[in-house]
Amino acid sequence: MEQQPKINLIYIGSIGHSGSTLLESMLGAHSKMTTTGEIHMWPHEILQGGVKPCICGESILECPVWSEMRRRVDPLSQPEPQMHLFREQWDAGHTVRLDRLSDFSKGALSADIAEEVEVYGQNNYEVFGAFLDIMREKYSPELNWVIDASKDPYRLLWLARSQRFNITVLHVVKKPPSFAYSMVKRLPKEYANLVHRRLYETARQSLKWSIENYLITKTAQNHLDSGDYKLVNYEDLASDPMGTFKKICATIGCEFEAEAVTNFRQGSQHTIAGNPMRYEGKGIVLDEKWKTKLPSYLRVTSEVLTAMNRSVYGY
């Protein structure tokens, strides 16, 4: 069997609401890159009849790019495990998967898991390959990198272990209290002012912050070359987008393009899901509302529950 050429894949690892959509948009505005958005949600979009529109404004089911994608590669017709393996629902996936934690080690996988990783990698290879082909045909034959903003650490691990991609991981992290505030303010109105619900949500999200960031880091340490991983702090990205993006381009191995930063709103042409900021028109602003709006008891809770590893990420 002829060996397949590896696809250049930029994987944005994050727990969400940490600046990943901003970074993805900058990358997508680069002349050599194209972004899928949170591609592992595509099968759920099909199953549920379209939940969020493509950034072009059309339903994922009606968008000409995603319609053509499905004609070329239907993710629901691929063999198991399919590409949404680690996304049980459109809006949710598990933070802790006890049966998969051993996969993060450097050791060899069992024969049955190795076979699943092989199939999973090939399924995703076909999807990314089709997307690159379509975007090259539609926009530019110079596109050389495809971006996956799915963020999930388990997905990243299996993609890396499949050996089908030249992966660069951009790990986007936000200060824990700032992340906690981003999540607590999303509580439904009936719970927004209940102290116990706010405390519970802060604790839950803080533990998620520690666990998922740890798993992304562990994947990079055990399954990537050191030059293929870069930590990106939201605070740096938002306060110095040009300088930070220049360093990111150096990690990827591409030429820095200042226009990708200034025109980042044009960086998402046909993306799935992501933060609602995709649809806004404002510029890049460092959001630090948490400093005045997050109660001190929630800030302390967040800091205590992330103390185990937040220093690793500069906090």
Q: What is the pLDDT of residue 283?
A: 83
Could you write out the DSSP letters of every residue in 260-310? HHHTGGGS-SS-BS--GGGG---------THHHHS-HHHHHHHHHHTTTTG
Q: What is the pLDDT of residue 1?
A: 44
Q: Tell me the one-letter amino acid at 262.
A: T
Average confidence (pLDDT) over 126-151: 97
Q: What is the pLDDT of residue 311?
A: 97
Q: What is the pLDDT of residue 22?
A: 94
pLDDT at 276 over 60: no
Matching residue, tokens 């592992």: 40
For residue 186 the two structure tokens come to 């999303």
pLDDT at 92 over 90: no
Question: Which pLDDT tens digit goes with each residue over 295-313?
Answer: 999 999 999 999 999 999 9
pLDDT at 274 over 90: no
Q: What is the pLDDT of residue 62?
A: 96
Average confidence (pLDDT) over 15-42: 95
Question: Which pLDDT tens digit goes with each residue over 141-199?
Answer: 999 999 999 999 999 999 999 999 999 999 999 999 999 999 999 999 888 889 999 99
Looking at every residue in the chain, the average pLDDT score rounds to 95
Percent of the chain with pLDDT over 90: 90
CATH 3.30.420 fits 7-175+225-283, yes or no: no
Average confidence (pLDDT) over 111-135: 98
pTM of the model: 0.96
Question: Which pLDDT tens digit goes with each residue over 45-80?
Answer: 999 999 999 989 899 999 999 999 999 999 999 999
Q: What is the pLDDT of residue 281?
A: 66
Q: What is the pLDDT of residue 42?
A: 97
pLDDT at 278 over 60: no
Q: For residue 290, what pLDDT band results from cuts at 50, 70 and 90? A: very high
Q: What pairing do the DSSP bridges indicate for beta strands 145-151 and 165-173?
A: unpaired
Average confidence (pLDDT) over 29-46: 97
Contact by Cβ (8 Å): 293, 181: yes
Burial group, residue 126, by CB count within 10 angstroms (0-12, 13-18, 19+): middle
Q: What is the pLDDT of residue 148?
A: 98
